[in-house]
Amino acid sequence: LQLNDKVAVVAAASRGLGRAVAEALAAEGARLAICSRDRGRITAAADAIRDATGSDVLALECDVTDPAAVARFAATVLDHYGTAHILFTNAGGPPPGSVLDFGADDYAAAVELNLLSTIRLVNAFLPAMQRQGWGRIVASTSISVKQPLPNLALSNVARAGVVAYIKSLSQRVAADNITANTVAPGYIMTERVDQLLDDRAAREERTPAEVREDLAGDIPARRIGRPDEFGALVAFLASEPAAYITGTTLLIDGGMYQGLM
């Protein structure tokens, strides 16, 4: 994928999808800067990735909802590596619940977590990409940007803005050899999905195994996705061969989305 020695910034990477992206990029030879809110957990993730791949991994504590922390994170990364080529924006998901369960403050918090964190990370790292005339931005969203999910109203609302932002950005920076895309996972088996499925089982008074079986049965691929499959997609979008793919939203959902486009 021609990622050798590229500097890749991966947000919210101590576990789950962010961790899988960090692992995939490191396996392709990229140097990493990763963050999450907890120093111990992000350091442990960095040690594991370094051991597995031999890549340089800078691990920093950063809550992506905190503007000052994002600015410190970017300053440290740019000071350490001198630039950044790839940015994967990511954060945790907002709490589950249906549309009328929440007030405006809850929606504002979700927008802060998923949309404004994306904008802050882009603002922090884009100038370095523009200076070198090469950049890849991949923003994590959800299948909910195509098809809202029941009981994930906060996520449905906040993530739609990420697609609009990344699309607008892609048009502005394409001529600088910078691509910007969003990835939209259906169900990928991470700790968060495990937790959401346990919650659903409790709500519906069913066993966790039944809920997982039913969910897999509703997916044309008949299974929940793997984090390494998600990491592989993002690594490709971040690569040189993906230079002409920009402003798009790629589903990774085992065929779960029901629409045509």
18 lies in the site for ligand NAD, by CB under 6 A? yes
Query: If you search the block for the tokens 């959902």, which residue do you land on?
Result: 253
Nearer to ligand NAD, 55 or 142 (CB): 142
Closest approach, Cβ 2 to ligand NAD, in A, equals: 26
Burial of 233 (0-12, 13-18, 19+ CB in 10 A): buried
32, 91, 124, 145: which one binds ligand NAD (CB under 6 A): 91
Chain residues 54-73 in contact with ligand NAD, contact rule CB under 6 A: 63-65
92 lies in the site for ligand NAD, by CB under 6 A? yes
Q: Encoding tokens for residue 122?
A: 């882009």
Nearer to ligand NAD, 244 or 259 (CB): 259
CA nearest 17: which of 145, 140, 117? 140
Q: How far apart are CA 76 and CA 74, in angstroms?
A: 5
Nearer to ligand NAD, 220 or 241 (CB): 220
CB 225 within 8 A of CB 14: no
Closest approach, Cβ 191 to ligand NAD, in A, equals: 4
CB 165 within 8 A of CB 115: yes
118 lies in the site for ligand NAD, by CB under 6 A? no
8, 55, 74, 93: which one binds ligand NAD (CB under 6 A): 93
CA nearest 257: which of 165, 143, 175? 143
Nearer to ligand NAD, 174 or 201 (CB): 201
DSSP state for residue 54 in the 8-state scheme: -
Sites of contact with ligand NAD (CB under 6 A): 12, 14-18, 36-37, 63-65, 90-93, 140, 142, 155, 185, 187-188, 190-193
